[in-house]
């Protein structure tokens, strides 16, 4: 604390980060909380007077009340997503998704049974059906690992990506339905509106919702809307 007493620097905060706050019962959580609390006490005993002491990330805010101290660092919860989906859903935590990813059908066409779709023809239609082309792909941040798995809301029904996600587009099997070109295709948004969620995409891509929402690229236009998520789309 000599540098502080000499006026060379001012200690304004002390912080650390919980490794397993999304699993509140993990023994490391209590160990980190105790270690941090002791470290703060040592610093204060040596003359430090931090303005802020903070430890809690989003999962700590909801699952580890003792970690809140003077300030918290919510991250994924600001998106309205659960930081601990294996323990509590976003709805159970009182969170509402704040981000919706929407495209529009560029093409709707009929195809016969046995038609191979997208690169590698990894998906083949099991019967005569209709396909919808959505101009969003991994170049926009849609995970390629969710090929033939990612959910998409089209014409009031949740469909699945058919075949591999391409750089600039993906295909959806419309099960014989015939929405119009230009109709909305919602990849993720507020589950209360019937849309798939970022957590649904995380499950399809075998990752976490954090990656789904943060990987959306700069070429996807951002439109900021008032009111509940999904209330209005432009």
CATH number at residue 176: 2.40.37.10
State whether 65 and 132 are in the same domain: no
Half-sphere exposure of residue 176: CA atoms within 13 angstroms, side-chain side: 4
Per the domain annotation, does 112 fall within a domain?
A: yes
Per the domain annotation, does 167 fall within a domain?
A: yes
Angle at the Cα of 25 from the Cα atoms of 22 and 28, rounded to 5 degrees: 80
The number of beta carbons lying within 10 Å of the beta carbon of residue 49 is 11
Q: Give the Å distances, CA to CA, from 177 to 140, 155, 159, 203.
A: 26, 8, 11, 26
Residue at a domain's end among 74, 93, 115: 74
State whether 47 and 7 are in the same domain: yes
| Residue pair 82/93 in contact by the 8 Å Cβ criterion | yes
Per the domain annotation, does 139 fall within a domain?
A: yes
Per the domain annotation, does 118 fall within a domain?
A: yes
pLDDT at 48: 87
What distance in Å separates the CA atoms of residue 88 and residue 185, rounded to the nearest whole number? 28
Nearest-CA neighbor of 192 among 229, 155, 232? 229
Per the structure, the count of domains in the chain is 2
Q: pLDDT (tens digit, 0 to 9) for every residue of the chain, 234 residues total?
A: 677 777 778 888 999 999 999 998 899 999 999 999 999 999 999 888 899 999 999 999 999 999 999 999 999 999 999 999 999 999 999 999 999 999 999 999 999 999 999 999 999 999 999 999 999 999 999 999 999 999 999 999 999 999 999 999 999 999 999 999 999 999 999 999 999 999 999 999 999 999 999 999 999 999 998 765 545 443
What distance in Å separates the CA atoms of residue 136 and residue 142, rounded to the nearest whole number? 7
Residue at a domain's end among 74, 91, 118: 74
Residue at a domain's end among 74, 93, 120: 74
State whether 64 and 125 are in the same domain: no
Per the domain annotation, does 94 fall within a domain?
A: no
Nearest-CA neighbor of 149 among 112, 214, 190, 202? 202
Q: Which domain holds residue 178?
A: 101-214
State whether 40 and 125 are in the same domain: no
What distance in Å separates the CA atoms of residue 113 and residue 176, rounded to the nearest whole number? 11
Per the domain annotation, does 173 fall within a domain?
A: yes
Per the domain annotation, does 232 fall within a domain?
A: no
DSSP codes, 40-73? HHHHHHTT---SEEEEEEHHHHHH-GGG-TTEEE
State whether 129 and 202 are in the same domain: yes
This prediction's pTM: 0.88
Residues 193-221 as b/e (b if ≥16 CB within 10 A, e otherwise) read eebbbbbbbbbbbeebbbebbeebeeeee
Per the domain annotation, does 79 fall within a domain?
A: no
State whether 61 and 131 are in the same domain: no
């Amino acid at each position: 604390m000599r540098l502080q007493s000499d006026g060379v620097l001012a200690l304004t905060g002390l912080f650390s980060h919980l490794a397993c706050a999304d699993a509140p019962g993990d023994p490391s959580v209590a160990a980190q909380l105790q270690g941090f609390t002791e470290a703060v006490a040592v610093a204060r005993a040596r003359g430090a007077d931090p303005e802020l002491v903070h430890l809690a990330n989003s999962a700590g805010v909801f699952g580890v009340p003792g970690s809140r101290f003077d300030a918290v660092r919510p991250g994924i919860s600001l998106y309205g997503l659960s930081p601990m989906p294996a323990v509590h859903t976003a709805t159970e935590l009182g969170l509402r998704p704040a981000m919706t990813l929407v495209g529009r059908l560029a093409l709707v066409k009929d195809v016969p049974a046995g038609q191979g779709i997208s690169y590698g023809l990894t998906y083949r239609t099991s019967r005569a059906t209709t396909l919808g082309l959505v101009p969003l792909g991994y170049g926009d941040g849609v995970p390629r690992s969710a090929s033939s798995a990612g959910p998409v809301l089209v014409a009031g029904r949740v469909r699945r990506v058919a075949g591999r996600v391409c750089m600039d587009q993906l295909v959806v099997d419309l099960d014989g339905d015939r929405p119009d070109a230009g109709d909305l295709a919602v990849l993720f948004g507020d589950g209360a509106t019937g849309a798939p969620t970022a957590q649904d995409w995380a499950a399809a891509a075998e990752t976490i919702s954090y990656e789904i929402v943060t990987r959306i690229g700069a070429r996807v236009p951002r439109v900021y809307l008032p009111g509940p998520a999904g209330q209005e789309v432009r």
